[in-house]
Structure 1
Amino acid sequence: MNQNFGKRVRSLRLSRHWSQQELSMRCGISTPHISSIERDKRHPSLEYAQRIATALGVPLSSLCDERTEFQAPKMRNSPDELPLYLQNFILNESAFPYLEAAQRMSTLPEEEASFLTKLIELLAHRDHLLAGYQPDSRVL
């Protein structure tokens, strides 16, 4: 991996005015891992490098080859718009499996993602209803 990969990630992230947490949420990689990559303490796997490039909206080659110039497209939906408890969740290392699942889901075709979203909402609603359900002990 190019020694400047982390610096290019950091530069592009900062040019977007994104925090490491925002990049973390967008690519499904934990915030501490993003920090290590930016400081060149860790080198990302090919999969992680591709996730970062996709989240930043640039081709992977533009992060690996310092001769490549790029203009990233505008992005939307900042995690700063999320409730504080979700922002804190993103900061937590244990959030990694959920961030990874969200990243994978974001790459699905819209119809499949919509179906999964509805399914998750139904399951969450069912669990909420069941949590409030108290069987009548007189019946037993």
Structure 2
Amino acid sequence: MNTLFWQKVNNLIKIQNKTQQSVSIECGFNPRRIQNLSASNRLPDIIEAKKIADVLGVSLESLVSDKEPDFKPSVERIRGFLKEIEKELENF
């Protein structure tokens, strides 16, 4: 389970062109928190796991289940950003 969790997290980090350090910082953790947990193959507590999922734009369930990751929240997040950009451009 631990290995699967970290495989999913690290795959999402790579896909999103982020680093463990940048995700840790976005989560409000010590910059090396994710690296330390991942390297020692320890699971974060539930609050930390939820913050990681939120920053990566996926559900917590997708990180802890055997199912394929759900990227729908990421797509919705991108759509939201695009709508914000469109509104900003309309103001120019």
Is the TM-score greater than 0.5?
A: yes
CA RMSD of aligned residues (A): 2.1
Write the mapping of 1:1-140 to structure 2, written as runs, cut at 5 A. Answer: 2-3=1-2, 4-71=4-71, 72-73=74-75, 74=78
Higher RCO, 1 vs 2 (CA within 8 Å, ≥6 residues apart): 1
Q: Which has more radius of gyration?
A: 1
Query: Displacement of 1:13 after TM fit?
Result: 0.5
**Structure 1: any 5+ residue segments left out of the alignment?**
77-140
Whole-Å separation in 2 of the counterparts to 1:13 and 1:26:
12
Whole-Å separation in 2 of the counterparts to 1:48 and 1:69:
18
Query: Displacement of 1:10 after TM fit?
Result: 0.6
Partner of 1:92: none
Runs of 4+ in 1 over 3 A off after TM superposition: none
Query: Displacement of 1:68 after TM fit?
Result: 3.1
How many aligned positions are there? 75
Query: Displacement of 1:64 after TM fit?
Result: 0.4
Whole-Å separation in 1 of the counterparts to 2:69 and 2:19:
22
- Whether the 8 Å contact between 1:62 and 1:70 is mirrored in structure 2 is yes
> How big is each residue's C-alpha offset from its partner over 1:93-140, in whole Å with a ceiling of 9 and x where there is no partner?
xxxxxxxxxxxxxxxxxxxxxxxxxxxxxxxxxxxxxxxxxxxxxxxx
Q: Larger helix proportion, structure 1 or 2?
A: 2
TM-score, normalization: structure 2?
0.69
For the residue of structure 1 that corresponds to 2:54, the secondary structure is helix
Out of 10-19 and 23-32, give the one that drifted further. Answer: 23-32
**Structure 2: any 5+ residue segments left out of the alignment?**
82-92
Partner of 1:124: none
Flag the 1:40–1:6 CA change in 2: closer, same or farther, 3 A: farther
